[in-house]
Copies of this chain bind each other. A is one copy, B any other.
């Protein structure tokens, strides 16, 4: 047998699933979507649960991210999973492993960041665990949400012919992380307006709850998820669960002016590659029948609805495994985008 590096995250999950029950009364969805989903008795709602773990030096660096940003971010990534189902968050549970030398002001600032999003999205903090760490900081958040039965958006329901849509822009967070790395190495001491924007997109992702809830009311929106690992890693999850292929128009990918500007200054940066492979955007990715496209909400920053962009189309599956066809100006291009594996 190999090491975890070979096995990867999905291998571990497969192993655990093979060994344990995955059924309970009222269960609608177990492992494999953004949230688990179940109902209680005749209740009108499905309840949603998701959990995410952030580890120092893997998901964040203490010198690069303020404790406020880490607190905010650790809840944001979980709220994003609720948004991806079209749900509303109810409560969160926060576990922290912290080294004993950490300053009290650190936890105060972390708490402020966590509380900001908690209060903004009317979510209760109902419990958790606080333990000592001998090394890295670890943050684990579990979130509970709900969605009216019938309004839930899951990954396995994309239909051939659907258009593929993403919210806002892609790749900004990836660039923000690289800029934070550069600054740590003091390559770039001064900061441009564009860099500030990209850093903000990395540090303080906006869970798309308002958008997810609006889309949950449109029956023509078939499959949905959030982009946490990057388009090239996440889209195949919809495709394989829905047994469909997809074609993505690379020239249609929504890329911010700020990302284009920063890429134009660096020979090694490609905005297209960042938009396709860069993770941590926490934008929504969904499929919709073409005839329902006019039902999509208008962008409105005030109510938290970002712009939406059609980037491709779902097609019927040709082989045993889902395939993404890449096109530029409607012409096929051969690209081998590498997905991200946490254990590499």
Contacts and interface: CB of A to CB of B under 8 A. Distances in A.
A133 B55 CA distance: 7
A334 interface: no
A333 interface: no
Interface stretch (A102-110, A243-251, A280-288, A323-331): A102-110
A5 B140 contact: no
A98 B136 CA distance: 12
Interface string A86-128: 0000110111111111111101100110110011001111111
Interface string A36-59: 101011010101011111111111
A103 B4 CA distance: 6
A51 B23 CA distance: 21
A138 interface: yes
Contacts of A55: 97, 131-134, 138
Interface stretch (A9-17, A174-182, A252-260, A266-274): A9-17
A138 B97 contact: yes
Given A13-B130, A31-B126, A58-B132, A20 B115 contact: yes
Contact of A53 (B45, B95, B114): B95
Contacts of A140: 51, 53, 95, 129, 138, 140
Nearest to A10: B130
Contacts of A310: none
How many copies make up the complex?
A: 2
A26 to B, nearest CB: 9
A58 B124 contact: no
A35 interface: yes
Nearest to A99: B4
Contacts of A131: 9, 53-55, 58-59, 342
A107 B343 contact: no
Interface of A: 1-7, 9, 12-13, 15-17, 19-24, 27, 30-31, 35-36, 38, 40-41, 43, 45, 47, 49-59, 90-91, 93-105, 107-108, 111-112, 114-115, 118-119, 122-136, 138, 140, 142, 144, 342-344
